[in-house]
Amino acid sequence: MRSVLENLPNELIIEIFGYSKIRDLSFGLWNLNKRFNALIRSLKYLSLILTKDCTSEELLFSEQIIRMVIVTLESINLNPFINLRSLVLNLATENHLKQIQSIVLPNLVYLSLPLSFDSRSTKQLASEVFSNRFSSLRFADLGVIDMPSNLSWSQSPSLRSIRIFSPNINIIPLILQSCTQLTHFQVRITGEHPLDIPSLPIISNHPLKQFIFLQAQHSTIAFNIANIIYLIPNVKQLDLRLCTISFIDLIKLISKYLIKLNRLILNNDYDIFSIGTFIEIFQYLNLISFFRAFDTLNFRFDRLLRNVNNLIYYHWDNKYASIKNLIPHIDTLIVCCPVLMNLNQFTHIRYLKLTSLTDELLCRVSNICLLNK
């Protein structure tokens, strides 16, 4: 049985064309007949990887291309690609950077230029990005960015995710002030400029959800990150790879000000900490979260967890099956709502507080025979 491409329905042909490279479409199918031309023109989400300057065939479909990856140092004319949504420059030159303008690429949503050969053009582009010139831009990986000359940018509310390198830690509060709707922020600090605390902006309830702070490898400077943590109270995921004077103070700070945090990654050499230090750290962590993170991780952590015997547990609902491994370590139990629970299983508690008392719960309390006096 033979199948002829022209006998297939339009929907199936369009799907087949979607898996084809632009060059294959232009050389193999373009101008074959009017039907194929119309179907090719209907394709709206084409991608193009450029290893050299555009050919006439690629320019033929320039308005249909929404994603482009440039992996060449050759000069590229971006003007024909007016509908571009995503642009990745693996090797950003002055020619490339100067063309990244809102009038040339007004619909840009994703911009990545991890390696730039022109710091001046990169700095100018960053100024435009953080001043809302690209009103549709959501993600920006701008490579190495230094502080702006006037030490300020206007607001850029469209940005949701940013990844940068910078020699100056003071760029962090500056970006938080500029990007009022930012939810993901990754920064690697490569210099040793101290944080200018008197010049910190007043930022209230910033919506940032994930913050990744990377310190240059082999750097030994201890940055005052406490004043940055104050600015991001809604963070849920925190990844810190930095030097710190007091690890315990850092944990205390995080536990006090980042109350919505549910994931913490600290890239430190844990082997240098004593058992006493670890036990003190555990006191500042969410019970369920830290048992999930550390239980059965390795022999040393298993032994550490068995030494934790003075935990405080706040019970909010009937879902307490997940704390089964915690029960032998709970010293204080606080029941915060009228729930039914088997109190007899908490054999090691010494302190019990009921904020909402029912007759049945009171009866259960009176029947506890294992509660320590």
Q: What is the pLDDT of residues 213-226, one digit of tens each?
A: 998 777 777 787 88
How far apart are alpha carbons 256 and 245 in whole angstroms?
18
Buried b (16+ CB within 10 A) or exposed e, 45-74: ebebeeeeebeeebebbbebbbbbebebee
Element (H, E) at 58: helix 56-60
- How does pLDDT run across 162-192, given as a tens digit for each residue? 999 999 999 999 999 999 999 999 999 988 8
Q: Which residues of the chain have pLDDT under 50?
A: 1, 369-373
Distance from C-alpha of 181 to C-alpha of 21, rounded to nearest angstrom: 37
DSSP 9: -
**Distance from C-alpha of 210 to C-alpha of 182, rounded to nearest angstrom:** 9
* Structure confidence at residue 272 (pLDDT): 52
pLDDT on residue 264: 80
pTM value is: 0.70
Nearest C-alpha neighbor of 66 from the set 22, 113, 130, 26: 22
Confidence (pLDDT) at 273: 59
Q: How many CB atoms lie within 10 A of CB 105?
A: 23
How many CB atoms lie under 10 A from the CB of residue 232?
Answer: 24
Task: State how far the alpha carbon of 49 is from the alpha carbons of 23, 53, 58, 240, in Å.
Answer: 11, 11, 10, 35
DSSP-based three-state secondary structure for 327:
helix
Q: What is the pLDDT of residues 53-112, one digit of tens each?
A: 666 566 778 888 899 999 888 888 889 898 999 999 988 888 899 999 999 999 999 999
Structure tokens at 250: 């850092």
Amino acid, res. 132: N
Adjacent-strand bridge partners of 334: 314, 353
